[in-house]
Amino acid sequence: MSDTRTGSLLSRRAIAGGAAVASIGLAAWTAMRARRAERDFPPTGQFIDVDGVRLHYLDEGEGPVVVLLHGNLVASQDFVASGLFERLARRHRVIAFDRPGFGHSERPRARIWTPQAQATSIQLALKRLGLTQAVVVGHSLGSLVAAAMALEPRLDIRGLTLISGYYYPTARADVAISAPAAMPIVGDVLRYTVSPIVARMMYGRTVQAMFAPRAVPDAFHGHVPRELVLRPSQMRATAEDAACMIPAAASMSGRYGEIDVPVRIFAGSDDAIVDTDSQSGRLYKDIAQSALSIMPGLGHMVHYDDAGRIGDAIETMALE
């Protein structure tokens, strides 16, 4: 073998060895950051074990029960940051779940966590808590979970309030981008090496798009810590939810007319994440007993900017 070929082989081996060492270092750094985040931002609610899943939830107030289901990326603390949780807890018992894999809730790999599967687990948790009825509020992807609860009720769903939801299948670039991180093995490698770096670079822009055209409120960062969001476990949940979103909407969209409880639909006219007309507007047409409120000049996180009107609608529904 010539000296040139030998040198080239040794160089490739050195590069491969260096990449392996760097990957191991990144994985260790990512794991350390995740452990530190969970130590620095411990759970503030309670836990319940349901069907082999440990769910974390916030539970405050007394009166008619209102259940809050957050969207993708975030956790139950999003409703605290918006002020909606505190507002409702003055006159209601408010339960806000960390959906499986988010916040401090587990997400076992043994099942596919479609919105329908999440709806089943949450309803079982409510029954374990001794509850028989509730008004359910969903934001963004949480709206799909809320709709699934109404379509396959395991307790008395008194009404739905759906905020900035995604209900009908469409092509989405964010799903294609998230898909690799949801894959077994490959996704595990990515979430401990490349993905945390890329996610940190994109995090600010992603959050800005969620709140656009308004500025990101300080309360969001205070209650939804970036380091909890960027843990590999929550990144897996975010990616898997994105991957399940379109199939779930496709399987459920033909059944929305079966929902027979009062439905209040809220959306922002300038939502940069979900198209308001083709999603919330279409859902309003498909559910006869629904009411639609489109907030002019607001984006995807309308529960921050108009918590008063949304809270009033939820209270009216819960007290009926």
Q: Tell me the residue type at 166.
A: Y
Q: Are 268 and 298 in contact (CB under 8 A)?
A: yes
pLDDT of residue 26: 58
pLDDT the model gives residue 251: 97
pLDDT digits (tens, 9 = 90+) for 26-59: 555 566 776 887 888 899 999 999 989 999 999 9
Query: How far lies 87's CA from each of 127, 143, 259, in Å?
Result: 24, 20, 27
Asked if the model's pLDDT at residue 310 lies above 70, the reply is yes
In the chain, % helix, strand, coil (3-state, to 5) comes to 55, 15, 30
* Spatial separation of the C-alpha atoms in residues 105 and 53, rounded to whole Å: 8
From residue 27, alpha-carbon distances to 24, 190, 203, 204 in Å are 5, 9, 19, 22
Q: What is the mean pLDDT of residues 86-93?
A: 96
232 pLDDT tier (thresholds 50, 70, 90) = confident
Q: What is the pTM of this model?
A: 0.88
For residue 92, pLDDT over 60 is answered with yes
Q: What is the pLDDT of residue 171?
A: 79
Q: What is the mean pLDDT of residues 163-177?
A: 83
Rounded to 5°, the CA angle 150-156-157 comes to 40
Measured between alpha carbons, how far is 234 from 241 in angstroms, rounded to an integer? Answer: 10
- Average pLDDT on 164-191 reads 71
Domains of the chain (ranges, CATH numbers): 41-319 (3.40.50.1820)
d(CA 140, CA 279): 11
Query: Has residue 14 got a pLDDT over 60?
Result: no
First to last CA, the chain: 85
Residue 182 gets the label, from left (phi > 0), alpha (psi -120 to 50) or beta, of: alpha
Q: What is the 3-state secondary structure (H, E, C) of 26-86?
A: HHHHHHHHHHHHHHHCCCCCEEEEECCEEEEEEEECCCCEEEEECCCCCCCHHHHHHCHHH
Q: Decide if pLDDT at 295 tops 50.
A: yes
**Could you tell me if residue 96 is left (phi over 0), alpha (psi between -120 and 50 degrees) or otherwise beta?**
beta
Given a cut of 80, whether residue 286 has pLDDT beyond it is yes
Res 189 pLDDT > 80: no
Q: What is the mean pLDDT of residues 214-243?
A: 92
Band of the pLDDT at 61, cuts 50, 70, 90? very high
Of the listed ranges 7-16, 113-122, 239-248, the one predicted with least confidence? 7-16
Q: Which residue has the higher pLDDT, 143 or 111?
A: 143
Return the minimum-mean-pLDDT range out of 48-57, 59-68, 125-134, 185-194: 185-194
Mean pLDDT of 248-252: 97
Most confidently modeled range among 3-12, 146-155, 198-207: 146-155
CA–CA distance, 145 with 76 (Å, rounded to integer): 14
Token digits of residue 170: 């469409």
Characterize 151-180 residue by residue with b for buried, 16 or more Cβ atoms within 10 angstroms of its Cβ, and e for exposed.
eebebebbbbbbbbbbbbeeeeeebeebeb
Cβ contact 265:138 at 8 Å:
no
| pLDDT for 34 | 67
What percentage of the chain has pLDDT greater than the value 90? 70
Model confidence at 80: pLDDT above 90: yes
Decide if 287 contacts 258 (C-beta within 8 A).
Answer: no
| pLDDT over 90 (residue 145) | yes
Residue 17 has pLDDT above 80, yes or no: no
Mean pLDDT of 230-256: 92
